[in-house]
Amino acid sequence: MGSLTDDPAFRAVTFVVIDFETTTPTGYPAQPIEVAARALRHEDGGWTQKGTSASLIRPPALAPVTPADTAQTGLTAEQLRQAPTPAEALGALNRRFTAGTPYLLVAQHAATEANVIYNQREHCPALARVNFLDTIPLAKHLVPGLANYKLDTLLSHFSIPQPTDRHRAHADVDVTAQLFQRLVTLAHESGGLNDLAALVKTAGRTAKSNLPVQGGLFDL
pLDDT above 60: residue 196: yes
Structural domain boundaries enclosing 42? 4-210
Give how many domains the chain has, as a whole number.
Answer: 1
**Tens-digit pLDDT profile for residues 173-195:** 999 999 999 999 999 888 889 99
Pick from 171, 170, 181: nearest CA to 135:
181
As a whole number of angstroms, the distance between CA 15 and CA 9 comes to 12
Report pLDDT digits (tens) over 104-161. 999 999 999 999 999 999 999 999 999 999 999 999 999 999 999 999 999 999 999 9
Residue 86 belongs to some domain of the structure: yes
β-pair partners for 48: 41
* 8 occurs within a structural domain: yes
Which residue from 203, 143, 195, 215 is spatially nearest to 11, judged by alpha carbons? Answer: 195
Is the residue at 43 inside a domain? yes
- Give the CATH number, domain containing residue 77: 3.30.420.10
Q: What is the CA radius of gyration of the chain?
A: 18
- The Cα–Cα gap between 49 and 169 comes to 17
Task: Please indicate, yes or no, if residue 174 is contained in any of the structural domains.
Answer: yes
Contact 180, 166 (CB under 8 A): no
Question: Which is higher by pLDDT, 216 or 159?
Answer: 159
